[in-house]
Copies of this chain bind each other. A is one copy, B any other.
Amino acid sequence: MSNERSNQQLFLARVPEGISGPQDFAVREAPIPTLKEGQLLIESHYVGVDAALRLITRDSDEFLFRVRPGDMVRGSIAGRVIESNNPSFRVGEFVNGSLGVQRYAISDGAGLERCDLQLAPLGSWLGGFGVSGLTAYFAIFDACKPQPGQTILINGAAGAVGSMAGQFAKLAGAKVIGITGGPEKCKWLVDELGYDVAIDYRQKDWYQRLVEAAPDRLDFIFDNVGGDILDQSLKLIGMNGIVLMCGSTSQYTAEDMKGPANYIWLGTMRARIQGFVVFDYAHRYGEARKRMAKWIASGELKLPEHAEKGDVGDFGAVFEKLYRGANRGKMLLKLPAAGS
């Protein structure tokens, strides 16, 4: 069966410079080996387009993972089981996992997660209902715990994680300020996601607007971007404040990474920059999704995503769009198998 189909796999063609795009990737056709005992074959419907990929393609061995030129590109996919020699998975089930950017993936089931489409559509299992949303959920409800009357700033507010974090912070009763690029995304944050204030960092007076929006300083900064936006906003961190560090996308493309000089404000303010990794909460994903499903059903929570249709070979172009800020919510590559 398997070898009637041909796989398309994405490889890193070169070390990216600046914003990564089609020039950095190459597709290779490959036969699909016959399944061994315990294996299953998944047809990919969606590929998660994650900002963090840019970090691990840097020419540096400093990070825990690395994708080198010639390596298959790491990435999460969601799709359907189309063959199975594994008693735990039936043909027709929907699953997601970190299986690399490819049209078909073979798995032994380890690390695979079943997707219940009653709870959320398949693509959302890579986004708002997947790792992005879970990151936001535990960052807000466990690491920050904002209270009514407190103020939280979301940097990268329209992104996959930020767009969920802002909604969770509102559900917690906090005042939510978001920073994003462009007036349309600002309007979307306020009108669609319920942000109290949205600030366009492309406007020269963005910092002044932030000062005005946070007269009592910031109890929390939820940071996905790093760079100048984090640096400036650190001047407004409040007493015992938490800067939750979920990513530093602005630095992933930088030739020389920069740290936030205003970290010295942490001292006076007894504040902290806190690293955070969602995988520590893996045993609590079910609990989080139960609450999320309720809010989705009641209309209190949206799962924003931006799906671009294409083949595996279009990944690079979609990845570039992500870094150009085209997305509202999770950026996805929607493959032909997903239908129209």
| CB pair B261 A271 closer than 8 Å | no
Q: In whole Å, how far is A112's beta carbon from the nearest beta carbon of chain B?
A: 24
Q: 8 Å CB contacts to B: which residues of A265-315?
A: 265-277, 280
- A38-52 interface mask toward B, CB cutoff 8 Å, 1 = contact, 0 = none? 000000000000000
Residues from chain B with a CB closer than 8 A to the CB of A260 are 259, 263
User: Which residue of chain B lies nearest to A259 when distances are taken between CB atoms in the complex?
Assistant: B259
Q: A7 at the A/B interface (Cβ < 8 Å)?
A: no
Q: Contacts A259-B259, A259-B262, A263-B263 hold; do A275 and B280 have CB atoms under 8 A apart?
A: no
- Please tell me which one of the listed residues B251, B259, B263, B275 contacts residue A270 in the complex, with CB atoms under 8 A apart: B275
User: Which residue of chain B lies nearest to A55 when distances are taken between CB atoms in the complex?
Assistant: B264
| CB pair B259 A245 closer than 8 Å | no
Q: A126 at the A/B interface (Cβ < 8 Å)?
A: no
- A54-76 interface mask toward B, CB cutoff 8 Å, 1 = contact, 0 = none? 01000000111000000000000
A285, B55: Cα distance in complex, Å: 46
Q: A30 at the A/B interface (Cβ < 8 Å)?
A: no
- Please tell me which one of the listed residues B259, B267, B275 contacts residue A261 in the complex, with CB atoms under 8 A apart: B259
Q: In whole Å, how far is A276's beta carbon from the nearest beta carbon of chain B?
A: 7
| CB pair A267 B277 closer than 8 Å | yes
| CB pair B277 A273 closer than 8 Å | no
- Please tell me which one of the listed residues B62, B264, B273, B276 contacts residue A257 in the complex, with CB atoms under 8 A apart: B264
- Please tell me which one of the listed residues B62, B246, B264 contacts residue A267 in the complex, with CB atoms under 8 A apart: B246
Q: Which of A259, A260, A277 has the most CB of B within 10 A?
A: A259
A111, B322: Cα distance in complex, Å: 56
Q: Contacts A248-B264, A256-B261, A259-B260 hold; do A62 and B269 have CB atoms under 8 A apart?
A: no
A143, B241: Cα distance in complex, Å: 16
| CB pair A267 B280 closer than 8 Å | no
Q: Which of A231, A274, A275 has the most CB of B within 10 A?
A: A275
A271, B243: Cα distance in complex, Å: 12
Q: A247 at the A/B interface (Cβ < 8 Å)?
A: yes
| CB pair B280 A276 closer than 8 Å | no
A246, B270: Cα distance in complex, Å: 10
Q: In whole Å, how far is A220's beta carbon from the nearest beta carbon of chain B?
A: 14
Q: Which of A55, A247, A260 has the most CB of B within 10 A?
A: A260
Q: In whole Å, how far is A226's beta carbon from the nearest beta carbon of chain B?
A: 7
Q: In whole Å, how far is A274's beta carbon from the nearest beta carbon of chain B?
A: 4
User: Which residue of chain B lies nearest to A242 when distances are taken between CB atoms in the complex?
Assistant: B272
A271, B261: Cα distance in complex, Å: 18
Q: A321 at the A/B interface (Cβ < 8 Å)?
A: no
Q: A187 at the A/B interface (Cβ < 8 Å)?
A: no
Q: Contacts A235-B62, A245-B267 hold; do A261 and B272 have CB atoms under 8 A apart?
A: no
Residues from chain B with a CB closer than 8 A to the CB of A270 are 275-277, 280
- Please tell me which one of the listed residues B256, B257, B261, B273 contacts residue A266 in the complex, with CB atoms under 8 A apart: B273
6 examples of A-B residue contacts, CB within 8 angstroms: A245-B264, A251-B264, A258-B258, A259-B259, A263-B273, A272-B275
| Further pairs besides A245-B263, A265-B275: 11, Cβ < 8 Å | A55-B264, A62-B235, A247-B267, A248-B267, A258-B258, A258-B261, A259-B263, A263-B263, A269-B275, A272-B272, A272-B273
